[in-house]
Amino acid sequence: MDLKKRNRNLKTLLAIGGAKFGSKGFHPMVESSESRSTFIKSVIPLLRYNGFDGLDVDWIYPELNEKPFFTSLIHELADAFQKEAKKPTDKLILSAGVAAGRQIIDNSYDIKNLAKDVDFINLLSFDFHGSWDNPLVTGHHSPLKKGTQDQRNSAYYNVDYAVNYWKSQGMPEEKIIMGIPTYGRSFTLSTPSPNPGVGAPASAPGTPGQFTAEAGFLAYYEVCQFLQGATVKRIPEQQVPYAVKGNQWVGFDDEESVETKVKYLKNSKLGGAMIWSLDLDDFTGQFCKKGSFPLLQAIKRTLDSANKGIRSWKE
């Protein structure tokens, strides 16, 4: 909250849920109107007392049989926030973190009703590929566009498809905040090769990073460490980079690719960009040698550049 002293326009939202929290944690609260009401009546004073400007619901992700509960929760929160506000400018903000994969979108969301209730959605347009894939082959976790090897369901696994699918199902473009990752997904190649591109056979997740210590995952500052002595390539049609060193393959975003993504979201008239997450960017500036928060700064710089008329949820 001290950041608000430095930026009077800053809005802070409290998020609930998350990938590790999953769906089960929501069940006791959502399964009856009474329990949802108890939750909502506790949320509003909690937000007001602590100076938050709203709530971000990160239910990752509702199953098909949970869709009605998610829809009811969001609608009842929106209604309560509207009634609690003394004037429109005082209304608490309501947002939701939502899936980018088509099958999960279809299972999880009543998009037309969701569009009426939320101020915006944070589209989690990353983790399209990773060490969970079967068969296990290399793939970028956040490609902007469809790749030449993408067939059948894989054709859905890109940012462009996810954005346009949400729009086609009824989410207004200005309510879509497009997610950009500040981390890489890594693979251990089955057989080292001079130029293993997308679709190369892999035997396991990539080696854990020095600091994040999670197999198949590297913070951007760890990616910068990895790039020393690595071969860096770009996937032209997907407009994102990857790097190879020995038997390690890492797909990631750099300043060039995030700038391309921001230009895309501006041309698509989306509401803005979000990142996952601040602490995975090179926050000290020591690893990438490009100043603190190089990816965040590239996103902000591109958002602030020409075509400043981008719409946002506030308008």
Confidence of residue 306 (pLDDT cuts 50, 70, 90): low
pLDDT digits (tens, 9 = 90+) for 144-159: 999 888 878 888 999 9
What pLDDT is attached to residue 193?
78
Considering just the CA atoms, what is the radius of gyration of the chain in Å?
20
Which residues are CB-neighbours of 132 under 8 A, at least 6 positions away?
A: none
0.85 cut: is pTM over it?
yes
CATH 3.10.50.10 fits 185-251, yes or no: yes
3-class secondary structure, 230 = coil
Look-up: residue for tokens 């997450």? 277
Q: Are the C-beta atoms of residues 146 and 158 closer than 8 Å to each other?
A: yes
Written as six digits, the tokens of 84 are 């609690």
Lowest average pLDDT, out of 163-167, 188-192, 249-253, goes to 188-192
Mean pLDDT of 5-17: 95
Give strand pairing partners of 248.
188, 245
**Burial class for 228, CB neighbours closer than 10 Å (0-12, 13-18, 19+):** exposed
Mean pLDDT of 154-166: 95
Query: Before 108, cis peptide (omega within 30)?
Result: no
Written as six digits, the tokens of 228 are 């020393």
Angle at 273 between CA 270 and CA 279, to 5 degrees: 170
DSSP-derived secondary structure letter, 91:
P
CATH 3.20.20.80 fits 3-180+254-281+291-303, yes or no: yes
pLDDT digits (tens, 9 = 90+) for 110-143: 999 999 999 999 999 999 999 999 999 999 999 9
Share of the chain above pLDDT 70, in %: 97
DSSP-derived secondary structure letter, 184:
E
pLDDT digits (tens, 9 = 90+) for 57-116: 999 999 999 999 999 999 999 999 999 999 888 999 999 999 999 999 999 999 999 999
3-class secondary structure, 293 = coil
3-class secondary structure, 243 = strand
Indicate the domain borders of the chain: 3-180+254-281+291-303, 185-251
Which residues are CB-neighbours of 13 under 8 A, at least 6 positions away?
A: 52, 53, 54, 55, 56, 93, 95
Phi and psi, residue 183, nearest 5° = -145, 165
The CA-atom distances, in angstroms, between 53 and each of 69, 115, 303 are 24, 20, 23
3-state helix, strand, coil in the chain (%, to 5): 35, 20, 45
Question: What beta strand segments (E) does 92-229 contain?
Answer: 93-98, 120-123, 176-181, 183-189, 202-205, 217-219
Taking the C-alpha atoms of residue 249 and residue 188, their distance in angstroms, rounded to an integer, is: 6
